[in-house]
């Protein structure tokens, strides 16, 4: 699978993460099955933002409401790893249990990686890397 994203949006997300080097930033990805068209920053309401994230529920509510009114669809979220690689951590994987398959864009310094969360043919939760094309 391949997803398109603009170079400008990639640069914006890198800058957002660089501006908060001691905490995880997070937000929502908007678009369709082929393209990440935009991203909406959200407050990280985690009690431990240095090493985890929790997207402010109000941000999710607002984006879903806008999508129902004809706006772009919510297709996933993004967050940063200030001290780790651009891949889902054990904490990320545990938090994903029970969520529908979606895209996760992880920012780690200049590196970005897109992941699709889902289940394999036996129902086991998996994270598959998705190619990003700018």
Show which residues are catalytic.
Answer: 24
134: nearest Cα among 38, 8, 32, 30 = 8
- CB–CB of 24/92 below 8 Å? no
What CA–CA distance (Å, rounded) separates 123 from 47?
31
Task: Tell the residue number behind the tokens 């082929």, with chain if given.
Answer: 34
Closest CA to 76 of 92, 89, 60: 60
* Rounded CA separation 82/33 (Å): 28
């Amino acid at each position: 699978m391949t997803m398109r994203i603009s170079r400008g949006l990639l640069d914006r997300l890198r800058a957002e993460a660089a501006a908060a080097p001691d905490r995880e930033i997070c937000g929502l990805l908007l678009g369709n099955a082929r393209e990440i068209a935009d991203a909406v920053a959200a407050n990280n309401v985690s009690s431990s933002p240095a090493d985890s994230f929790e997207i402010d529920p109000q941000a999710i509510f607002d984006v879903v409401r806008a999508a129902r009114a004809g706006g772009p669809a919510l297709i996933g979220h993004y967050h940063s790893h200030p001290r780790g690689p651009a891949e889902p951590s054990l904490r990320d994987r545990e938090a994903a249990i029970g969520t529908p398959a979606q895209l996760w864009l992880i920012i780690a310094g200049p590196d970005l990686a897109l992941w699709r969360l889902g289940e394999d043919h036996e129902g086991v939760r998996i994270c598959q890397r998705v190619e990003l094309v700018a």
